[in-house]
């Protein structure tokens, strides 16, 4: 593990809640998951944070959580024992989320866009929100752009941005969850997705692609890639 990856793993460990045993899972590809072993509901809710889109990943996820339920993971994975220190993330967000009790922490696959995602939960595993943390220039820009997009979304069509603040050596955004279950990926634009897209349309706000506020913001940041961006906009 090189120094950059070691640093972000140390940050992820600092995100874990105090006073709880935490199971550290190193998944295929090098991503990591820190699961609080509070109770069955919290452990079950934590499984949602593991990204399983391909069938092999779903099989691995199902087998892993069965093994955790049978309490075998304590013998095959690292368990970080509980500690009595502070929980800086909890202290930061308790005023926004009064029932916040615990959290699952996911560290993405090592690489230039690696970041930390945290699932915030109450003591029964109910999901209260999600945190995105980044400490590299490229990932900080991604998190900041996502936060901006959440701010401009119409009501009731996406998560709500709770806050975007500096934290530790990077920045984090906090957003509300969406109700319901995640749909498996599909290449078809089905009726539900069409209804979602239609709700994003704002009457009276039509733009030529090159004059849209989002495009103008891209132009402002494009610098030496302006030519490539103009080609893409021309295709639009």
Q: What is the pLDDT of residue 211?
A: 79
Which residue's structure tokens are 């990077």? 170
Q: What is the pLDDT of residue 133?
A: 93
Radius of gyration over every alpha carbon of the chain, rounded to an integer in angstroms:
20
The percentage of the chain sitting over the pLDDT mark of 90, rounded to a whole number, equals 18
- Identify the CA nearest to 159 among candidates 145, 146, 172, 144: 146
Residue 130 has pLDDT above 90, yes or no: yes
Q: What is the pLDDT of residue 119?
A: 93
Q: Tell me how far apart the alpha carbons of residues 37 and 32 are, in angstroms, rounded to a whole number.
A: 16
Predicted structure pTM score: 0.73
Q: How many CB atoms lie within 10 A of CB 143?
A: 21
Q: What is the pLDDT of residue 235?
A: 74
Contact 100, 17 (CB under 8 A): no
Contact 229, 219 (CB under 8 A): yes
- Identify the CA nearest to 40 among candidates 9, 71, 76: 71
Q: How many CB atoms lie within 10 A of CB 167?
A: 18
Work out the pLDDT band at 59, boundaries 50, 70, 90: confident
Max mean pLDDT among 27-31, 71-75, 82-86 falls in: 27-31
DSSP 168: T
Report pLDDT digits (tens) over 159-204. Answer: 889 999 998 888 999 999 887 766 655 667 778 778 877 877 777 7
Report pLDDT digits (tens) over 4-48. Answer: 567 787 788 778 887 778 888 887 778 888 888 888 888 888 887
């Amino acid at each position: 593990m090189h120094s950059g990856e070691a640093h972000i793993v140390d940050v992820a460990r600092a995100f874990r809640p105090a006073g709880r045993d935490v199971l550290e899972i190193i998944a295929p590809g090098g991503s990591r998951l820190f699961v609080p072993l509070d109770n069955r509901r919290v452990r079950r809710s934590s499984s949602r944070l593991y990204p399983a889109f391909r069938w092999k990943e779903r099989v691995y996820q199902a087998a892993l959580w069965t093994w955790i339920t049978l309490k075998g993971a304590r013998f095959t994975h690292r368990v970080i024992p509980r500690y009595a220190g502070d929980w800086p993330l909890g202290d930061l967000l308790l005023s926004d989320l009064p029932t916040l009790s615990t959290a699952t922490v996911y560290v993405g696959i090592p690489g230039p866009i690696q970041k930390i995602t945290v699932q915030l939960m109450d003591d029964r595993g109910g999901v209260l929100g999600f945190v995105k943390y980044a400490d590299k220039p490229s990932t900080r820009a991604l998190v900041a752009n996502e936060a901006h997009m959440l701010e401009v979304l119409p009501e009731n069509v996406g998560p709500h941005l709770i806050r975007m603040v500096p934290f530790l050596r990077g920045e984090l955004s906090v957003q509300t969850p969406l109700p319901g279950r995640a749909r498996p990926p599909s290449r078809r634009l089905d009726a539900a997705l069409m209804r979602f897209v239609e709700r994003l349309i704002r009457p009276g706000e039509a733009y030529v692609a090159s004059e849209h506020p989002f495009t103008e913001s891209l132009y402002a940041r494009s610098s030496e890639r302006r030519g490539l961006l103009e080609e893409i906009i021309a295709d639009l």
